[in-house]
Amino acid sequence: MSKQKGCRPGWFLRLLGYKKTQFLTIPLFSILCSLLAIAILILLIGKNPLTAFQSLLQGSGWLPKPNYAAGKSILTDLLEMLDAYTPMLFASLAVALAFKAGLFNIGVSGQMLLAGFVTTVLVGYQDFPAGLAKPLVVLLGFICGSLVGALIGFLKYRFNVNEVVSSIMLNYIIQYVVGFFIQTRYVDVVSRQSRTINAPARLTLVDVAWGGVKLRLPLLFIPAILMAVLLYFYLKSTVGGYELKAVGLNRQAARYAGIKVGKRLVSSMTLSGGLAGLAGVTYYLGYYASIKPNELASLGFDSIAVSLLGNSHPLGIIFSSLLITSLDKGSTYMNSTVGVRQEVSSLVTGMILLFSACSAYIRYKVDDSLRLSLAGSEGTAAPIQRKTPASGSGKRGKNA
């Protein structure tokens, strides 16, 4: 507000301020900031940050390691990372879709857990052939998640219950109800988790031998990418996507345009829940094959930030999920080779998410200082957008 610069804005500021590429430059800037912060931290503990970052990439299968154990290769690491990536992508898409409709789905973890548990019991413990079991898992997972989402949407629409509150409460309910059933009926006495599901129901093929190495094949990896592309087109060029965005940006105007706002809220929350359900089955019946009782997957919460990092844009999320999952998967290796503890990788993730959460602020600051310095150089006051208070508009605009 106060500082009025008279000089021309620097190239960096102009690069960041360029509207057309801001969707890309701002997240990249956030990532850069966080990497720098972490590099300083690693320097402080007396290690080389470059080797640390390199080992992160090696651990997640992007760069070759110096040597591999028997039956392992760079492909093993890469596919394992992609196995973890699949649920992350679904979960982040779930958050982004709700966000586009103006809703905050903080209950992705709960929706994942319920979908994972129901499919584990109904399909995972049965002796179905793989050709039946796998599609059934996907279908049931989607339905379970979407039912939870629909409930949240309905509560919002019918009783005006804030979706954040209801989904957090549902998270608790699901977490402990599922925990109760696992511990009383489905527990494995050794691992203290739910019993491992039967192989035909699993959405990841494990120990696939190929060219002398053993690989994991996440079956829903490609469908997940396709889903992101599909959502992109849905939002961009369908009537439903247009309505959803209209509702998300301005509910009052959407109603004025004749859009059935309640219906849109419920349907987008249903779809968001369904995507969370898919995240659940690829997580609990793919990456893992059992469920830890009384615990929500932190992935469900990370996905909120991942979605933010990707600008809530389906195509952006393909990349932001990849980045965060890679950092996560590379951390074990970084720990064992460079001696930088695994926690540091969580710190990197946390930093990136923190900075990306600030991206709106960064954008605001960039635009603001750009505006000020431009105004200063032209010698005119920048126009300040002020909402003129409608002297008589009375009691409008309060309904959420």
Residues of this chain that interact with other proteins (CB under 8 A) are 237-240, 242, 245-246, 249-250, 252-260, 387-388, 390-399
Torsion of CA 310, 315, 318, 319, to 10 degrees: -60
Task: Please state the closest distance from residue 141 (CB atom) to other proteins, in A.
Answer: 25
Task: Please state the closest distance from residue 351 (CB atom) to other proteins, in A.
Answer: 29
Q: Which two tokens stand for residue 88?
A: 């992350």
Task: Please state the closest distance from residue 76 (CB atom) to other proteins, in A.
Answer: 42
Task: Please state the closest distance from residue 314 (CB atom) to other proteins, in A.
Answer: 17
Q: Which two tokens stand for residue 300?
A: 């469900």
CA atoms within 13 A of residue 391's CA, in its CB half-sphere: 0
Task: Please state the closest distance from residue 162 (CB atom) to other proteins, in A.
Answer: 18
Structural contact between residues 368 and 5, judged by C-beta atoms closer than 8 angstroms: no
Task: Please state the closest distance from residue 367 (CB atom) to other proteins, in A.
Answer: 12
Reference 142, options 218, 216, 217, 203; nearest CA is 203
Structural contact between residues 376 and 6, judged by C-beta atoms closer than 8 angstroms: yes
Residues with Cβ within 8 Å of 361's Cβ and at least 6 positions away in sequence, in order, are: none
Q: Give the 3-state secondary structure of residue 351.
A: helix
Reference 333, options 20, 100, 81, 5; nearest CA is 81
Which of residues 5 and 245 has its CB atom nearest to other proteins in the complex? 245
Task: Please state the closest distance from residue 236 (CB atom) to other proteins, in A.
Answer: 9
CB atoms within 10 A of CB 122: 15
Residue that is written with structure tokens 């992350």 in the block: 88
Task: Please state the closest distance from residue 396 (CB atom) to other proteins, in A.
Answer: 6
Length of the chain: 400
Reference 151, options 174, 175, 123, 180; nearest CA is 174
Which of residues 257 and 360 has its CB atom nearest to other proteins in the complex? 257
CA atoms within 13 A of residue 139's CA, in its CB half-sphere: 8
Alpha-carbon gap, residue 374 to 390, rounded angstroms: 31
Task: Please state the closest distance from residue 119 (CB atom) to other proteins, in A.
Answer: 29
Task: Please state the closest distance from residue 243 (CB atom) to other proteins, in A.
Answer: 8
Considering just the CA atoms, what is the radius of gyration of the chain in Å?
A: 24
Q: DSSP for 284-338, please give it.
A: IIII-SS--TT---THHHHHHHHHHHTTT-HHHHHHHHHHHHHHHHHHHHHHHHH
Alpha-carbon gap, residue 52 to 149, rounded angstroms: 40
